[in-house]
Amino acid sequence: MEQLVHSPKSLASAITRQRKAKKLSQTEAGSIFNIEQSTFSSIENGAPGTRLETLFRILAALDLEMVIRPKTVSTHKTEESW
């Protein structure tokens, strides 16, 4: 269940997905690490200027982790499973 992310947009979908999986509203999720609901909203809408610091707080709040690795030469099929 890991998502390959290559843009603010796809990152947004990974975040939204996990938040909903945890049945949290933006307000609830945000309160965990003091993130404004409005900030949560813009991030989930793919705001390209979101700051790293904010992103990491969100990942922590949703129990998500980020992995960075050299690009794998995977077939496209596998990735677009989501």
Partner DNA sequence: ATAATTTATAGCTGTTTAGCCATAAATTGA
Partner DNA sequence: TCAATTTATGGCTAAACAGCTATAAATTAT
Q: Which residues bind a copy of itself (CB under 8 A)?
A: 1-8, 11, 14-15, 18, 47-53, 55-56, 59-60, 63-72
Q: Which residues bind DNA (CB under 7 A)?
A: 19-20, 25-28, 34-45, 47-51, 54
Among a copy of itself, DNA, none, partner that 72 touches (CB below 5 to 8 angstroms by kind): a copy of itself
Q: Nearer Cβ to a copy of itself, position 5 or 31?
A: 5
Tokens linked to 17: 């997905």
Half-sphere CA count of 3, side-chain side, radius 13 A:
17
Q: In angstroms, how far is the first alpha carbon of the chain from the final one?
A: 9
- Return d(Cα 42, Cα 49) in angstroms, integer: 10
* Closest separation in Å from C-beta 59 to a copy of itself: 7
Tokens linked to 49: 């200027």
